[in-house]
Amino acid sequence: MSIQRKTARRLASTCALFLAALSINANSQPLHQKLSEQKPFRKETIVKDTRIADGYYRLGVGNLHEPSNSDKAIEHLEKAVELDETNAEYHYMLAEAYMANFQNAGLLRMPFIAPKVKAQLELAVKFDPRSALYRKALVNYYVFAPAILGGSYQKAHEQANEISKIDPYLGMLARASVYAGEGESEKAVSLYKKSIFARPASWQAYHQLGEYYAGVHEIDEAITMFKKYVDVAPEHAESYNQLGQAYQKKRMYDEAIAAFQKALERDPSRTPLVFRIAQLYEFKGTRRLAREQYQRYLSMVPSGRAADDARVKVQELGD
């Protein structure tokens, strides 16, 4: 197998971790009222461009709710960045769009998309160095990307140290994730548990330790952590989404469906969960309910690759 193909396969296996770490944040950050140096400094032009940029940003984020629309998301977010290049949130969400696109990329395209993610995350940190969120996303890139594409445990530790200056609790979690990537399991788990002890009412440590356990296939422990995540953050759709994924890995389909339904109640824009619920009903052999959920998905997302698959399923399950 060629080096390029090996690299692409490794990137594909870590894409889910990238996406989990960089959750979509639809709330825009305060707009930076600046333009490129090439543009003349005119106040009315700045206001106009930032408003247009914000429109492109919102269109891009809207398309990110459906992974198959990642090309459109990239198109809109690239325009937002072009119009307001110092807005850290725009760079961060463009990185998110590139990662969503990564899932559907062929083996030859994957190595070219990953560096774009890195570049946008580094720009997000440059324009908002006090954001622990953007730095944590960059930590994840440095940990999970191969060295040939810019991965670096040393740089990950450096970012984790910077996060510690912003928030010691989040810094501990960042260091734990680096240790986990390095294979230092005992150090990682110790820091995750220390973080829980430091802030037992905060959700981040339960979330990240649950993801760690899921990643090393300790699913019962993952379920325990995700249940605690739900307890401390019941308003989060992601808490139920993570719990549902863990139940699915245990083939506890009824529990998974219930968790995904609760995630949808809290965030109806998570349309891929409707498709997943349909699949779970199909796995259970409940054809009628599966067909209803595929139809529900089509009513929400009438076009795209997943919609085409849903139409086929509706027809098959109706026979």
Does any domain span residue 78?
A: yes
Token look-up 């090393």 returns 216
Query: How many other CB atoms are there within 10 angstroms of residue 245's CB atom?
Result: 23
What is the C-alpha to C-alpha distance for residues 309 and 257, in angstroms, rounded to an integer? 20
Does any domain span residue 258?
A: no
What is the pLDDT at residue 17?
A: 42
Does any domain span residue 140?
A: no
Does any domain span residue 164?
A: no
Does any domain span residue 231?
A: no
What is the pLDDT at residue 23?
A: 37
Q: What CATH number does the domain containing 90 carry?
A: 1.25.40
End-to-end CA distance of the chain: 43
| Mean pLDDT of each 10-residue bin along the chain, 319 residues long | 42 43 34 31 51 91 80 92 94 92 70 88 97 95 90 96 97 97 96 97 97 96 98 97 97 98 95 96 95 96 90 90
Token look-up 């649950």 returns 210
DSSP secondary structure letters along 102-113: HTT--TTTHHHH
Residue 110 domain boundaries:
1-128
Backbone angles phi, psi at 313, to 5 degrees: -65, -40
Does any domain span residue 102?
A: yes
Does any domain span residue 198?
A: no
Which of these, 18, 181, 25, lies nearest to 99 by C-alpha position? 18
What is the C-alpha to C-alpha distance for residues 61 and 76, in angstroms, rounded to an integer? 9
For residues 204 and 167, the answer to whether their CB atoms sit within 8 Å is: no
Does any domain span residue 71?
A: yes
Q: Is 69 exposed, middle or buried (0-12, 13-18, 19+ CB in 10 A)?
A: buried
Indicate the number of domains in the chain.
Answer: 1
Structure-token pair, residue 39: 């543009």
